[in-house]
Amino acid sequence: MKKILVIGIGAGNPEHITVQAIKALNRAAVFFILDKGYADDELLRLRREICERYIEGDAYRLVQVQDPRREDDPVSYQNGIEHWHEQRAALFERLIADEVKAGETGGFLVWGDPGLYDSTLRILDRVLARGNEVFDVEVIPGITSVQTLVAQHGIPLNRIGEPIQITTGRRLAQASGDDIDNVVVMLDAHCTFERFVAQDLYIYWGAYLGTEDEVLISGPLRDVSERIRQTREAARARKGWIMDTYLLRRHMR
């Protein structure tokens, strides 16, 4: 039977690769790399670098394909995601059918960890549900941007006896502000933290975590909010893309 490895490769530093991930890399015959369409895609280069650094020999293949473009649905965010995932499922099914022979192992290299805000596992479930391809899936965890963020700022993720919430910018926009105590925010394209500058919050922000271009800013939200926005806009204009994560933390009540 075919096997598909879903390998977490960390937040951007090639040295974040675990020993388990290195062993998994050396088991696969082919890796699928999704091209987001950026003119200068550093993320593609990092995937290639990881393979070249950790895979012994050159018997593996890299198959690079264009990732379906996600189009926003004007009526429903969920409908837009549903359509995008269906397109991806059709692509994954074709790749596994054409590129992975019976008894072979293929791999998807996932930023961070496959279990946190990544769709690869859901899409592979869709492929299996179609019934045209049969394969086993094995997941190899990775270091997330959340872990990297707090490590680079030198702080613990949670405080004693307090919970931690991980959410998205879209969901944070629905918060009142009073309910924010310890919130990690991912996938925020609109600097949603600016809505809460009147709150007594501290922010730990980071972009391109783990890479040579890493940027870190921390401080009282009301003091550093504008600097984060300006830094973020400049970095995005320079590189053409940005991945950032931040922790909002209320002073102890």
pLDDT at position 16: 94
pLDDT at 76: 63
**DSSP strand E in the chain: where?**
2-8, 30-35, 61-66, 105-110, 135-140, 165-168, 182-186, 201-207, 215-220, 244-250
Tokens of 191: 């600097």
Give the mean model confidence (pLDDT) for residues 18-44.
86
What are the counts of helices (DSSP H) followed by strands (DSSP E) for the chain?
A: 7, 10
DSSP string, 125-179: HHHHHHTS--EEEEEE----HHHHHHHHHT--SS-TT---EEEEHHHHTT--STT
Largest CA distance in the chain: 59
Q: Compute, in degrees rounded to 10, the torsion defined by CA atoms 75, 78, 80, 82.
A: -140
Kindly state the average pLDDT of the residues 99-118: 96
Query: What local confidence, expressed as pLDDT, does residue 31 receive?
Result: 97
Which of the pair, 16 or 37, is modelled with greater confidence? 16
Q: Is the pLDDT at 39 greater than 50, yes or no?
A: no
How many angstroms separate the CA atoms of 45 and 58, rounded?
17
Q: H/E element holding 50?
A: helix 42-54
In which band, very low, low, confident or very high, does the pLDDT at 172 lie, cut at 50, 70 and 90? very high
* Terminal Cα-to-Cα distance of the chain (whole angstroms): 56
Tokens in use for 80? 């837009």
Residue 71 has pLDDT above 90, yes or no: no
Q: In the chain, pLDDT over 90 holds for what percent of residues?
A: 81
Q: What is the mean pLDDT of the chain?
A: 92
* Confidence at residue 23, expressed as pLDDT on a 0 to 100 scale: 98
pLDDT digits (tens, 9 = 90+) for 187-212: 999 999 999 999 999 999 999 999 99
In terms of Cβ atoms closer than 10 Å to its own Cβ (0-12, 13-18, 19+), residue 141 is middle
Count CB atoms within 10 A of the CB of residue 178: 9
* pLDDT above 70 for 84: yes
Given this model, what pLDDT does residue 67 score?
A: 84
Question: How do residues 5-26 score in pLDDT, each as one tens digit?
Answer: 999 999 989 999 999 999 999 9
| pLDDT at 181 > cutoff 70 | yes
Q: Is the pLDDT of residue 44 over 90?
A: no
Is the pLDDT assigned to residue 42 strictly greater than 90?
A: no
List the domains of the chain with CATH numbers: 2-140 (3.40.1010.10), 145-250 (3.30.950.10)
| Cα separations in angstroms, 211 against 206, 237, 243 | 11, 17, 11
Contacts of 68 (CB under 8 A, 6+ apart): 84, 87, 88, 91
**10-39 core/surface letters (b: 16 or more CB in 10 A; e: else):** bbbbbebbbeebbebbeebebbbbbeeeee
